Amino acid sequence: MRRYGKNPDEDDIRIRPNPKGNRPRTHTRPKHEDAEDGMVLTVDRGRLTCLVDDRTVMAMKARELGRKAAVVGDTVSLVGDLSGEKDTLARIVRIGERRSVLRRTADDDDPYERVVVANADQLAIVTALADPEPRPRMIDRCLVAAYDGGLSPLLVLTKSDLASPEKLLEAYIPLGVPYIVTSREELENGDAADRVREQLNDRITAFVGHSGVGKTTLVNALVPKDRRRTTGVVNAVTGRGRHTTTSALALPLPDGRGWVVDTPGVRSFGLNHIDPSRVIHAFPDLEPGTEDCPRGCTHDAVQPECALGAWVTAGHADPARLDSLHRLLATRERREGD
């Protein structure tokens, strides 16, 4: 350490320059009162495509937002060049409050949660009845994520010409989850799209499913031809689909009747971020039975002091509904392949 003696003068002391510039830091942020509102349609390597009025605008996140990230479905405020012309770039300066969030982790041991889509009203869980085989554990996990995030679930079963849906539906009818069964022929002639579209009108619906179930094929049948995405096939050796959708993308339904969000095919849906105590809110018929539960009760089958079991046994609710709740809560503790 340099010593300057007992009485140094200003010529003896060297002031280090501010490496980040001479402007002092401030917590005051610009208000951007002239910002225009938009919706995030897709995110690709730090660039966000947003819908502003009737035009698409390329944007980047403003530095003052820090680590806060915008995702597909977010309402945002933008400044800068909002013309939407080629090679122009706007800035996102605010991210609106989210009314719903679909989140997942890569697996149950991963502490890093990923927000898949924001502000969706509905989650369409697309599952093939064969080729590839259905994975009920995956469906259960998606249901838990939907209930936790504030989305209404919709079960879409494809390829019914290859297998019957009855056995699979037995597990979900007690949950009251609406469902649609489609075949490959119906997809080709447009009948499936018409029936699915009835469930999507005037809503934002996120589509999720593992690769090869026909998710993107169905989305393509729902949206205008110029908005369609590339599709793939199921690997004959592994029985798994090939990822053809690499990023989430919001697409408008015809006549402005709503939006669909096509998400990348997933092979796992981790629930590390889920608070089990919130899942009960998706069972309003069972919630009154939790009044006598101890503080912090998660209402699963292994809670010895949970009051739900006795309440249902007394005839206040359908036992099948409690069994469904227990199954969904248990899926967080079990791997998808169990």
Distance CA 71, CA 41 (A): 8
Question: What predicted TM-score, i.e. pTM, was given to this entire model?
Answer: 0.80
What pLDDT is stored for residue 237 in this prediction? Answer: 33
Q: What is the pLDDT of residues 213-246, one digit of tens each?
A: 888 889 988 987 766 655 444 433 334 444 444 6
Distance CA 63, CA 76 (A): 15
Closest CA to 248 of 115, 54, 59, 67: 115
Q: What is the pLDDT of residues 153-207, one digit of tens each?
A: 999 999 999 999 999 999 998 889 999 999 989 888 888 888 999 999 999 999 9
227 - beta bridge partners? none
Phi, psi for 116 (deg, rounded to 5):
-80, -45
What pLDDT is stored for residue 232 in this prediction? Answer: 43
